[in-house]
Amino acid sequence: MAELPPIDFVLLSHHHGDHFDHIVERDLARDTPIITEPESAGRLRALGFAAVSQLETWGSLTIRREDDWLRVTAMPGRHAPRPLARLLPSVMGSVIEFGSVDGEAPVFRVYITGDTLLIDELAEIPRRHPDLDLCMLHLGGTRIAGVMLTMDGKQGVKLLELIEPKVAIPIHYDDYTVFKSPLSDFLERAQRSTMSTRIVPIERGATYRFDV
């Protein structure tokens, strides 16, 4: 963590060890602003984090720095099929919109899926946010006891066909043995798809830059 740049805020899809690990939990300054969903917000407050903001689905929070602003809006997410979803943490996806003048339309939009399966509620996203510039796509096809808990390659491609972002970056697909859907499966399916989204895989330590 000592090698990171100064942190303005943390955007947390849910309080799970592969998203908010024990080092972060131990060393992150307790006054760091954190934006997350309600269940995770309660856990973080119990750990002593004092600047936690919680968002219900479709709820928004705007952060400003001089004339620039960004708005975080919570998207639907579900970490397991019903009724097993009750046994796993609540999750949220996020749309981050960047702008420079109050009242004007955002100039760039990013969708971070979070750990979700392809659920019916995601169909509302392209109706509310039809012009997504970038999607950070959580994949991996996590399976525990045979039950899939995160999108595999097939679901990931179907989601991109649904929301049609300009660029998609696959993430969260090879950190644990419970990930059963390799990146190659997603890339092969994406290549066969007729979608216009450009896929940009990023290796660890590499950087993807976008203009706002």
What are 210's two structure tokens?
């976008």
- Read off the pLDDT of residues 3-41 as tens digits, 9 standing for 90 and up: 889 999 999 999 988 889 999 999 999 999 999 999 999
Amino acid at 207: T
The Cα–Cα gap between 174 and 176 comes to 6
Determine whether domain 58-199 maps to CATH 3.60.15.10. Answer: yes
Entry pTM: 0.93
Share of the chain above pLDDT 70, in %: 100
Taken in order 167, 171, 174, 180, the sign of the CA dihedral is: negative
Where do runs of H (alpha helix) occur along the chain?
Answer: 22-27, 38-46, 125-128, 153-163, 183-192
What are 94's two structure tokens?
């996020």
Q: Which of 162, 109, 170, 115 is nearest to 137 (CA)?
A: 170
Beta bridge partners of residue 112, listed in sequence order: 94, 136
Q: Which of 89, 100, 109, 112 is nearest to 169 (CA)?
A: 112
Taken in order 12, 13, 19, 22, the sign of the CA dihedral is: positive
Residue extents of the structural domains in the chain: 58-199
Q: What is the DSSP letter of 81?
A: S
- Read off the pLDDT of residues 95-145 as tens digits, 9 standing for 90 and up: 999 998 877 889 999 999 999 999 999 999 999 999 999 999 999 998 888
* For residue 187, pLDDT beyond 80: yes
